[in-house]
Amino acid sequence: MAKKALCLSEQSADDYLKQLHHSTIAIAFLGTPHRGSNSAPFAKSVTNILKAIGKRANLNILQVLERNSEVLSDAENGYAIWLRKNSSRFKLTCFYEELELPPPVGMVRFR
């Protein structure tokens, strides 16, 4: 998670980790479910099927993508604090979808 890495690198005592914070000049989040996804349960079902046929799959990562995920909330809050402290370094521009996707996806919501 880029958000978490930036927050941690800024506070790190190690110079090589602080470099991430100092070297970042732009950030792009493309298709990022910042608040989780309603599709997470579907993805878990697909993952269970893949595991059943012997494929390697990580269900734990999908729990992070569920709505009201504590991990996502912590990352979002930490990033918001980092961004406020570093707002003079960045110009914030938001792009988002305006057209609804076909079912079962529906409207892609943004923040």
How confident is the model over 19-40, as pLDDT tens digits?
887 888 887 777 667 778 888 8
**Domain for residue 85, yes or no?**
yes
Tell me the per-residue pLDDT of 65-74, one tens digit each, with 9 for 90 and over: 888 888 888 8
- How confident is the model at residue 79, as a pLDDT? 82
Under the banding of pLDDT at 50, 70 and 90, the label for residue 53 is very high
**Domain for residue 79, yes or no?**
yes
Cβ contacts of residue 88 below 8 Å, gap of 6+?
Answer: none
Q: What is the C-alpha to C-alpha distance for residues 66 and 41, in angstroms, rounded to an integer?
A: 7
Residue pair 24/6 in contact (Cβ under 8 Å)? The answer is yes
Q: Tell me, rounded to whole angstroms, the distance of Cα 4 from its chain centroid.
A: 9
The range of the structural domain enclosing residue 17 comes to 2-37+70-89
**Domain for residue 26, yes or no?**
yes
The DSSP secondary structure of 61-73, one letter per residue, reads: HHHHTSTT-HHHH
The average pLDDT across 81-90 equals 83
**Domain for residue 96, yes or no?**
no
Residue pair 5/17 in contact (Cβ under 8 Å)? The answer is no
- How confident is the model at residue 111, as a pLDDT? 47
| Number of domains comprising the chain | 1
